Structure 1
């Protein structure tokens, strides 16, 4: 079954740890936080065993990195009209940044990684 993807949208194929997948269509302006909320609000019936209690613990992983909640699909440079694969995991806390990530942050002049309103996905 071939799914038609509008040329101005991005199709995300989300993969759970269990291996189950589901596709959702989003706008390039949608953020990782928007995506987590949309998936939570439209939780697939065949994902019932993997259900979570709140959208805030859903984390998106793209190319091996957790996405911040305010990062948009357009900012990631995802191709319009195509399917992109991401992992979706329930996780309250995120791992500490590795030493390379920390060096890059320190070069940016900020002593801390986030403000108190930062939401990491």
Structure 2
């Protein structure tokens, strides 16, 4: 819970969050004064974008479900069959469905850009050894064996 002017304020409930389009401009203007709002600009593979308002307590899974339930009309060609295949990419990394916006440390009241892609499963993370080998490095301290006499 965050403190603001000595008074405890809770983030807005996710059910009040809406897509920021022309029809709810008044709703958006009223909501942007709240310091606990995170504005997400979601970009599809096609390059189409849309902005949505979310709470720091909303997870990537909550966001995917909200976007699926409120799929923008101008995204009709990119529509998916279920929310579970929508994945968010932030700073080049896929977000797991339980990661919250607050955990990412996103700034309140500012726009953050993420990609939204349809994908059944997340890619497996590379281990440290695999990354070292792919860079041509060696995971041990030296390539020759040492012997103490």
TM-score scaled by length of structure 2: 0.64
- Please point out which of 30, 41, 53 is paired with 1:25: 53
Quickly say closer, same or farther: Cα 1:24–1:101, change in 2 above 3 A.
Answer: farther
Equivalent residue runs for 1:1-121 within 5 Å: 4=29, 5=32, 6-100=34-128
What is the CA-CA distance between 1:102 and the residue it aligns to? Answer: 7.8
For structure 1, list consecutive stretches of 5 or more residues without a partner in the other structure: 104-121
For structure 2, list consecutive stretches of 5 or more residues without a partner in the other structure: 1-21, 132-149
Q: How many equivalent pairs are there?
A: 103
Quickly say closer, same or farther: Cα 1:83–1:92, change in 2 above 3 A.
Answer: same
In 2, distance between residues paired with 1:101 and 1:60? 27
SS of the aligned residue for 2:76 comes to helix
Once the two structures are superposed, residues 47-98 of structure 1 have per-residue CA deviations (whole angstroms, 9 ceiling, x without a partner) of: 0000000000000000111001111000000001111000000001222212
The alignment's C-alpha RMSD in Å is: 2.2
Name which structure has the greater RCO, CA cutoff 8 Å, separation 6+. 1
What is the CA-CA distance between 1:7 and the residue it aligns to? Answer: 1.8
Considering fraction of residues, name the structure with more helix.
Answer: 2
4+ runs of 1 displaced by more than 6 Å? Answer: none
Structure whose alpha-carbon radius of gyration is higher: 2
TM-score scaled by length of structure 1: 0.78
